[in-house]
Chain A
Amino acid sequence: MKQLTSFIQRKRESQPILLMTHVVYGYPTIPESLEIMEMLLKEGVELLEVQFPFSDPVADGPVITEACHVALEQKVTLNQCIEDISVLASTYPESRVLLMSYLNPLIQIGFDHLAEKLSPSISGMIIPDLPIDHKALATPLNDKEIPIIWIVTPGMEPSRIQKIADQAAGMLYCVSRAGVTGQTNSPIDSLESYLNSIRALTQLPLAVGFGISTREDIAMLENKADVAIVGSALLRAFHAGGIQQVKRSLLELKGSNA
């Protein structure tokens, strides 16, 4: 479980912030999604979050929701997804690959089977509709040392942050604002005090996501958080100009296009 944490800490020694990019498996097709992932890993994103598409992704905004629905037309299977991203994970050992999925596809395949399948190349699992209170469901992952990346949100009671922090491993996923993924209209309010309040309760790396879309957003997080998470913005780049545009956006986000 400490593996992801120490990876982030080691990388952070030389960088003010790391990048976790988000990709929907199977969007727009399975080969193209794998091509995007490969490009991102080649370009050196430190963390890659691969979302297995779900018909009803309630924590996601319109861009990712639409991508999920298109991906589902490709008849994706969770087994194939895990196999495909495991290959990538072992080809690019200088990055870490995480799987994100809503609960229902996971409980249909079964957490026991999932734990068997996932180890050891996938570094963590993000499950947006699994509350910490139902952690027991995912025990097989825990037994296999695959961390569940728990989510903390603005306005959360300190007691709940503590409860989550006490059970968390790998890193904490800090949602930057109320709402769903991809929203950039509402400002991230009092980000600094929000992150400080979490920092006071845990030593785990903090990853911040939801609505992070520009170089400025990321710069604002530097040395306050450990990882910036970018999802919808890259999908929008893909819509605008395919994989080349995703690459340009990535370089821009990393501040290395000058």
Chain B
Amino acid sequence: MRDDGYFGQYGGSYIPEILFNSQQQLLKEYRSAMADSAFIEQVQQEMQEYSGRPTPLTHCARLSAQIGGAQIYLKREDLNHSGAHKMNNVIGQGLLAKRMGKTRIIAETGAGQHGVASALVAARLGLECTVYMGAHDIERQYPNVFWMKQLGATVIPVTTGAATLKDALDEAMRDWSASYDDTYYLIGTSCGCAPYPEMVSGFQSVIGHEVKTQALKQFGQLPDKIYACVGGGSNACGIFMPFLEDSTELVGVEAGGRGPQVGDHACRFNTPQARFGIAQGFSTRFLQDDQGQLLPTHSISAGLDYVGVSPILADLADRGEVRMISATDEEVMTAFSQLAKNEGIIPALESSHAVAGGLREAATLSPDQHIVINLSGRGDKDLFNIARALNDQPFNTFLRTYLDEEENR
């Protein structure tokens, strides 16, 4: 990591000039907060007392036996308050916003997990909260929208472009351009202009640090491999970064979606449409056409279909420190069921990508090897999508009855 916010050729700050002052102010305040032990202690205390850290590392004995390869362990980020790793980051940035004297936060969200986490932390810290969310994602993730509203946040549907995460990000940047005086832009993943990638990864690194201690205690060595799903890349950076100096192999799992056709997946690695680009305030690998227009993406999980990726991961992949693979929607649903039925854990669809990648490769390993899969979130929010993917008719009947009853009340 360099002081100027670059990771190899990626990162930096390519924002409209109107945001220059705010970005510089953020950079300065972030550096000063990181050098302030009282601030760091406050973040740690909030992570523990509000979010419930440390989260466990769970051995999956039945699943490991069924797969017939390595011992499978799950890092249980699903047990964070709000049910996802997103909490780690919003606690850090929320406290930073407070420290900077801001009274309002804005956030963009895909799956809605970051929106919920932002709304929670805003309520806790007494900040106003506006969340931008693609209209298409709102349809897919309505339960999260419902909770954001109950928490007092304003949810603004974004209908421009593909009406998904990248468009929500554009809108949040536009808001920030007009509101930086009192507003803190709380980015939900390790993307965006400097210092966001470094800052978000830093707050998320608590995941990897805990895994290190837990692995040594529970199986006496570091994991052979670690798997994490990669949307923007924050949970992956969080679990990977503390292992960069170790022999553990780090594997990112992207959304393979319906297949390799343009618009059917969200793979920013290993596909011809994924190239170096500069957009949305930073440089990284973006899915784009030959004119440099960012392309539409697809994934069964709203949280993974971002068009860019963390500059940190782009650089680590270039340098061979992280290996990138992908899992299709179909593989993801299979992995989802395997984990639920064998271990009594309901994973988020995002996290199910990491599970799919991990299970696929665990089968080729030996029983004395250990893999850790980062279970970034729980599946409650995906109830509707999972019911649809599994074509669960009784669920539809339930909804119909529920609506009928509501209308006749």
Contact = CB atoms under 8 A, between A and B. Distances in A.
Contacts of B20: 131, 153, 156, 160
A204 interface: no
Interface residues of B, number: 35
B41 to A, nearest CB: 33
B236 to A, nearest CB: 23
A16 interface: no
B278 interface: yes
Nearest to A58: B173
Contact of B280 (A58, A60, A133, A134): A58
Contacts of B161: 55-56, 69
B61 interface: no
A151 B16 contact: yes
Contacts of B275: 108
Contacts of A103: 14, 278-279
Interface string B271-312: 000011111110000101011111000000000000000000
A104 B279 contact: yes
A77 B180 CA distance: 35
A66 B161 CA distance: 8
A103 B294 CA distance: 12
B164 to A, nearest CB: 12
B17 A102 contact: no
Interface in A45-78: 54-62, 65-66, 69, 72, 76-78
Contacts of B292: 54, 104-109
B15 to A, nearest CB: 7
Interface string B243-282: 0000000000000000000000000000000011111110
B403 to A, nearest CB: 34
Interface string A138-178: 00000000000011110111001000000000000001001
B17 A131 contact: yes
Nearest to A106: B292
Contacts of B173: 58
B178 interface: yes
A53 B362 CA distance: 46
Contacts of B178: 178-180, 183, 186
Contact of B177 (A54, A133, A179): A179
Contact of B160 (A66, A102, A129, A153): A66
Given A105-B292, A134-B14, A58 B21 contact: no
Contact of A56 (B16, B170, B177): B170
A102 B281 CA distance: 11
Interface in A6-53: none
B130 interface: no
B279 A156 contact: no
B12 interface: yes
Interface in B10-35: 12-18, 20-21
Contacts of B18: 59, 153, 175, 178-179
A236 to B, nearest CB: 17
Interface string B164-179: 0011001001100111
A105 B291 contact: yes
Contacts of A188: none
Contact of A108 (B167, B180, B290): B290
B278 A58 contact: no
B177 A104 contact: no
Nearest to B278: A103
B218 to A, nearest CB: 44
Given A178-B177, A180-B177, A56 B21 contact: no
Contact of B14 (A66, A131, A175, A178): A131
Nearest to B18: A153
Nearest to A57: B170
A104 B277 contact: yes
B118 to A, nearest CB: 20
Interface string B153-195: 0000000110000110010011001111100000000000000
Nearest to A164: B17
A40 to B, nearest CB: 25
Given A59-B177, A178-B179, 5 more contacts: A59-B16, A65-B170, A104-B279, A104-B294, A151-B16
12 contacts: A58-B174, A65-B170, A69-B161, A104-B292, A108-B288, A108-B290, A108-B291, A108-B292, A130-B14, A151-B16, A156-B20, A179-B177
